[in-house]
Amino acid sequence: MQPLKNVRVIDLSHVIAGPTASHYLASQGAEVIKIEHPKAGDSLRYSGKIKLDAGISPSFAAINGGKKSLAIDLKNAAMLDSVYRLVETADVFIENFKPGVVKKLGLDFEQLTAINPDLVYVSISGYGQKGDLSQYGAYDHVVQALTGMMMLGGEGNQPLKVGFPVIDSATGMMAAQGVLAALFQRERSRGAIYLDISMAQAAVQLMLPQVCRVLAQAEDMPRVGNRGFSESPGASTFQCSDGWISIAANTSKQFQALCRVLNISQLASDPQLIDQKTMTGEHGFVKAVDGKKVQKMLSEACLKAENRKLESDLNREGVPAARVRTIFGFMDEALQGDLLSLSYQQVQYQNGTATNFRNGYISNLDDEIPSLYAPALGEHTEQILSQLGFGSEELEALRKEGTVFF
């Protein structure tokens, strides 16, 4: 679907959170003008060990496909005025500077909504626009530490960081959701809308059931490591003879099937080991009477099995299970065969191929869309500024002085 066709987004954000927000808007048809500094541009351009093209890393391509790059120095009065003129015809403005910076630049909510009274203005920050932490910088793992996320995973007393910038990505998704809601609201009643999106808020949203449970019981939850969240003994990650497998045998039916596949059927009916009340299917998930003995039996049985065969056997018996794969292992299977449904397209660059996963869902209205190439730094500078009335000689002079890049 391309429901955001003819929606114009001015994006001053960089790295992951803000660009992820505009990625989802661009993937649904919006025109996204990404404003970058002419000297270097978004730092994500240079991450990782390979480049698909000059200044285009795979990580940058992943969340910047289909955007236009306008590389200008916002401290130049003429360039700032150009942004004002773009805002006149924009629907959305996104920034992820530290609170207060956009006001110094002359690009704050009050300034821009005076130019465009129907603008959706999005501010993305670590901790929100108000509060004691608002002026501090934030990175994903720092917010994981602050919000307690590091003490949910793992075991014992040592903190454990989620293995990718999950809060950055969630912040971008939450911002995109907020923009869609704001655009829908604007169809009902005109007027500017301000969205204060923070990484801290995104972390809370990600952990919402856990946060509310902790608040209600006035104490922290136990850490579950690689076990499932149901507290059922059959919901955990087990070592096999040739690798690892994660199993979710939560219900009595699933637990009986797990025991049957592992050739330890007697475990499910042993009242010394399993709470038989929970095996009726009327009391939620299965509970162990002697958790250590049950885990020992399950672990020893899994060690005798090959994880690929066990994965197949369990799923066939209605027990959710998956071999523990690396990202590369999973994607290699997913893209080469019929493992599952993914919406993606392959995009060819000079030095390699990027896989664009678009908006993350499949619709009956999906149709062929153009390849969403990530732009080179300043690739659209000349085009956009020319449309605003800058002549070729003027642009060349600005380029030579470093005010613009193309």
* DSSP codes joined into one string, 94-161: EE-SPTTHHHHHT-SHHHHHHH-TT-EEEEEESS-SSSTTTTS---HHHHHHHHTGGGTSSSTTS---
CB 341 within 8 A of CB 45: no
Helix then strand then coil, in percent of the chain rounded to 5, is 40, 15, 45
Q: How far apart are CA 178 and CA 128, in angstroms?
A: 15
Q: Is the dihedral of CA 48, 384, 373, 340 positive or negative?
A: positive
Residues 368 and 78: their CA atoms lie apart, in Å, by: 39
**124: closest CA among 142, 147, 101?**
101
pLDDT score of 284: 82
User: Please, what are the domains in the chain?
Assistant: 8-207+344-405 (3.40.50.10540), 234-324 (3.30.1540.10)
| E strand intervals along 159-202 | 193-198
Separate counts of helices (H) and strands (E) for the chain: 15, 12
Residue 363: predicted pLDDT: 85
Closest to 13 measured CA to CA, from 94, 127, 104: 94
Element (H, E) at 201: helix 199-206
Buried b (16+ CB within 10 A) or exposed e, 349-373: beeeebebebbeeeeeeeeeeeebb
Q: Which amino acid is at 321?
A: A
- Per-residue pLDDT tens, the chain, 406 aa: give them: 889 999 999 999 999 999 999 999 999 999 999 999 999 999 999 999 999 999 999 999 999 999 999 999 999 999 999 999 999 999 999 999 999 999 999 999 999 999 999 999 999 999 999 999 999 999 999 999 999 999 999 999 999 999 999 999 999 999 999 999 999 999 999 999 999 999 999 999 999 999 999 999 999 999 989 999 888 999 999 999 999 999 999 999 999 999 999 999 999 999 999 999 999 877 689 999 999 999 999 999 999 999 999 999 999 999 999 999 999 999 999 998 788 888 888 999 999 999 998 888 888 887 666 778 999 999 999 999 999 999 999 999 999 999 999 9
Q: Which amino acid is at 222?
A: P
Q: Are strands 243-249 and 234-240 parallel, antiparallel or unpaired?
A: antiparallel
